[in-house]
Structure 1
Amino acid sequence: MNRTARAAALAATTTLLLAACGGSSEPAAGPAETTSEAAAESSPAPAADESDDPAAEDDASAPATDAAGNETTVQFGEETLEYNLDGMVAGAYPAEGRYYLEGMTGVKALAEVGAEGPAELEAFRESVGADPVSYVRFDVDNREGTEEIGVYSFAMYDADGKAYEFAPITDTTNEWTEDLDGYNDEQWDLSEDLDDADLGGNAAVGERNEQWLVGPADLPAEIASAHATAELFADEFYPMPVH
């Protein structure tokens, strides 16, 4: 249960307890109560400043729900994302777009399928004559995580069960160059530029960073489901489409 849910549960429990006890947590005034004390108690209390209330901040970031009680939004950093519930229920939603990922270790990520690839990687791909590809960019937030996280695989499946798989940059560049008989000068320079760009590093515990995976250029218009894993199986994810 998250912090907001715990706060809501505590508030609900407190309300029920107060109702069971007669609706007030204040003791009844004794017969010796003075006029000044009674006047003070009957005066309206000053309005609370919600801007300084942590509970009010939690409520502001709490997920929205539909009539059935299903969460329709999720908070990622400062952004409120809306789930594509209709698409998930139907098992058909756009392959390209954004996906929210949340793991058991506390890590969260926002994936963008079809993102524009890093310039250094695209330049190297073209120089070695590799076929066009598509990219997934991950904004990995491991600030509340308990394990180092490197997104290792991302797979999407269409209605016929066909898989469209994305792999790490190093695996992909090795595949691009496996048939080359060494690099020419331009390829060496571009390879060094790619190394210097430092793309795709793991997110340490407490870190938020950018990571990339590379996959096929031809993606279907719609998919039925998706799955992702972290390096060394540190975590796994069921990406959910969001707006």
Structure 2
Amino acid sequence: MNKRILAILCLSFLVLVVSGCSSAQTAQPIGPDSTGIWDRYFVWPLSWLIKESAAVLGGSYGLGILVATIIIRLLVLPLMIKQIKSSKAMQALQPEMQKIREKYKNDPQKAQQETMVLFQKHNVNPLAGCLPMLVQMPILIAFYNAISRTPEIREHTFLWLQLGQKDPYYILPIIAAITTYLQSKMMGTATQDNPQMQMMLIMMPLMILAIGVTLPSALSLYWVYGNIFTIVQTYFLYRDKGNELRPKEGTAK
């Protein structure tokens, strides 16, 4: 993955979030009678899920967001498993990639070509790790719309927060950025020698922090819940699949 791809991904993330948030601020409240594919099949189901979960949990919309987050993460679990498999495969290829970089250190284009041949030989897609992030972009925007266009959620107080307002102490955005870094670090061990991925490792938490300090605290709460879930999930998936994904002795030359 080169810097141009990283820049495009980051820019796309920012554009989608900002455009989605801007439209939510001017849109009508969401409800079962809302029309349009986006409102009817994305925003309203999320709003309904949070409200119904909160009703079961004593009227706490903060806990309702927790339930919605867990359900969303479980739905994208197959993509996360694929991402982890890709990460483990990249980790196994690191010695070969290092040899290529050293051999063609004066010819970056040739090094990149040989690296792609290596990926093709082992059926590894270096961009597979980006798929969960791309899938979660529209989910994130729908989540923001559901919060902003549901008065009960927007006006609810949870802990020190009013869910529809930004965190006055910036605590949640900071926690969201830290947990984003931690979960990215856990899933990025295979790219520890890749400068482009190292750049992404730093950029993503900074982007989350920048967005979190300006948007409603419910969104940062969703990020924190989701990151903690992913950290725990990644630990168990790496542990359970470590032996399965580890290359057999003698297969890599």
**Which of the pair is proportionally richer in strand?**
1
- Normalising by the smaller structure, the TM-score range is under 0.3
**Which of the pair is proportionally richer in helix?**
2
